């Protein structure tokens, strides 16, 4: 299923629009990149699509996913996965339990759930590390675990907010390839916010620049 954004704009209540209306088609298995100056509203755009827009912002336009306009749906009904700059793993859960947290409710039975987590750990190069405390993982291992947890929830689309910006150069290239390969393999649309040209080139999809004051 594609992600279709139609004339989306966000306004601070009582203020001007953050950026010119955005229209963007993101095909399944492709990664579109959103760039633009600091403060233009890139993270706020992802908040709006994910359903986490702060109440002091107002939204206009449409976001279509799975054949419906998701703008009025609760965040949990949108089935959108989020990946942030910090690999957000729960510190009080083991690595395996972190991944299990992403599993869909319909997957019943301890054996099936364990098998799904083991397969994901293996894919992420984390086999044997399931019992670890997340704090003992390296930066790259944390990033791969966080991605796997999100993918296990079977998102219909993925939003990535500067996901590689805290990784050093070698790791950045590796984790970027790992992340993009998995998105393509899942055949879901993804939207990437980044300041890095290399990220945008590696994503290989449409690149849009958010701007202000251009005629629509
Ligand atoms: N909760 C909030 N209430 C009021 N203004 C906010 C709130 N959150 C963000 N803003 C403002 O909204 C604008 C957009 O912020 P946002 O974080 O989306 O920008 P960005 O393009 O992601 O920036 P950066 O590239 O620096 O991360 C900024 O001017 C910011 O100060």
Nearest CA residue ID for atom 3, ligand 1: 56
Alpha helices in the chain (DSSP H): 42-50, 95-101, 110-123, 139-152, 169-186, 197-203
Q: Which of 36, 40, 86 to mutate to test the pocket of ligand 1 (most atoms within 8 A of CB)?
A: 40
pLDDT of residue 60: 95
- Asked whether residue 216 is domain-assigned, the answer is no
Q: Please tell me if the CB atom of residue 54 comes closer than 6 angstroms to any atom of ligand 1.
A: yes
- Asked whether residue 158 is domain-assigned, the answer is yes
- Asked whether residue 124 is domain-assigned, the answer is yes
Residue 194 has pLDDT above 90, yes or no: yes
Contacts 24+ apart (CB under 8 A), 108-111: none
Q: Please tell me if the CB atom of residue 176 comes closer than 6 angstroms to any atom of ligand 1.
A: no
Can you give the residue range of the structural domain that contains 93? 3-209
Q: How far apart are CA 204 and CA 152, in angstroms?
A: 24
Cα separations (Å) of 152 from 81, 89, 131, 145? 10, 14, 18, 10
Atom of ligand 1 nearest to the CA of 36: 21
Residue 164 has pLDDT above 60, yes or no: yes
Q: Please tell me if the CB atom of residue 85 comes closer than 6 angstroms to any atom of ligand 1.
A: no
**Domain containing residue 92: CATH number:** 3.40.50.300
79 neighbors 63 (Cβ within 8 angstroms): no
Q: Which residue has the tokens 């704090």?
A: 135
- Asked whether residue 214 is domain-assigned, the answer is no
Alpha helices in 31-168 (DSSP H): 42-50, 95-101, 110-123, 139-152
pLDDT confidence tier of residue 215, bands split at 50, 70 and 90: low
Q: Which residue has the tokens 């793993």?
A: 89
- Other C-beta atoms closer than 10 Å to the C-beta of 54 total 10
36 neighbors 212 (Cβ within 8 angstroms): no
pTM, 2 dp:
0.92
User: Per residue in 75-84, pLDDT tens?
Assistant: 999 999 999 8
Q: Which of 9, 14, 34, 41 to mutate to test the pocket of ligand 1 (most atoms within 8 A of CB)?
A: 41
Angle at 190 between CA 184 and CA 44, to 5 degrees: 165
User: Per residue in 12-29, pLDDT tens?
Assistant: 988 889 999 999 999 999
- Asked whether residue 19 is domain-assigned, the answer is yes
Residue 214 has pLDDT above 70, yes or no: no
Taking residues 19-43, what's their average pLDDT? 96
- Asked whether residue 36 is domain-assigned, the answer is yes
Cα separations (Å) of 96 from 74, 100, 149? 28, 6, 9
Q: What domain count does the chain have?
A: 1
- Asked whether residue 43 is domain-assigned, the answer is yes
Taking residues 56-62, what's their average pLDDT? 95
Q: How far apart are CA 171 and CA 204, in angstroms?
A: 19
Q: Please tell me if the CB atom of residue 33 comes closer than 6 angstroms to any atom of ligand 1.
A: no
Nearest CA residue ID for atom 30, ligand 1: 39
Q: How far apart are CA 189 and CA 82, in angstroms?
A: 12
Q: Please tell me if the CB atom of residue 56 comes closer than 6 angstroms to any atom of ligand 1.
A: yes
Angle at 102 between CA 180 and CA 181, to 5 degrees: 10
Residue 205 has pLDDT above 70, yes or no: yes
Q: Please tell me if the CB atom of residue 39 comes closer than 6 angstroms to any atom of ligand 1.
A: yes
- Asked whether residue 215 is domain-assigned, the answer is no
User: Per residue in 172-187, pLDDT tens?
Assistant: 998 999 999 999 999 9
């Amino acid at each position: 299923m594609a992600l279709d954004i139609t004339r989306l704009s966000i306004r601070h209540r009582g203020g001007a629009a953050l950026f010119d209306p955005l229209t963007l088609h993101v095909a399944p298995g492709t990664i579109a990149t959103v760039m633009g100056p600091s403060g233009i509203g890139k993270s706020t755009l992802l908040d709006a699509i994910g359903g986490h827009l702060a109440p002091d912002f107002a939204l206009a336009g449409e976001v279509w996913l799975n054949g419906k306009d998701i703008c009025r749906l609760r965040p949990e009904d949108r089935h959108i996965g989020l990946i942030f700059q910090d690999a957000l793993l729960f510190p009080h859960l083991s690595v395996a339990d972190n991944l299990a947290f992403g599993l869909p409710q319909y997957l019943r039975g301890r054996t099936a759930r364990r098998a799904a987590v083991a397969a994901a750990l293996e894919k992420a190069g984390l086999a044997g590390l399931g019992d670890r405390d997340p704090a003992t993982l390296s930066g790259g291992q944390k990033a791969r675990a966080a991605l796997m947890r999100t993918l296990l929830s079977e998102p219909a689309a993925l939003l990535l907010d500067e996901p590689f910006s805290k990784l050093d150069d070698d790791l950045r290239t590796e984790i970027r390839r790992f992340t993009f390969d998995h998105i393509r393999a899942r055949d879901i649309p993804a939207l990437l916010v980044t300041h890095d040209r290399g990220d945008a080139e590696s994503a290989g999809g449409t690149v849009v620049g958010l701007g202000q004051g251009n005629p629509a």
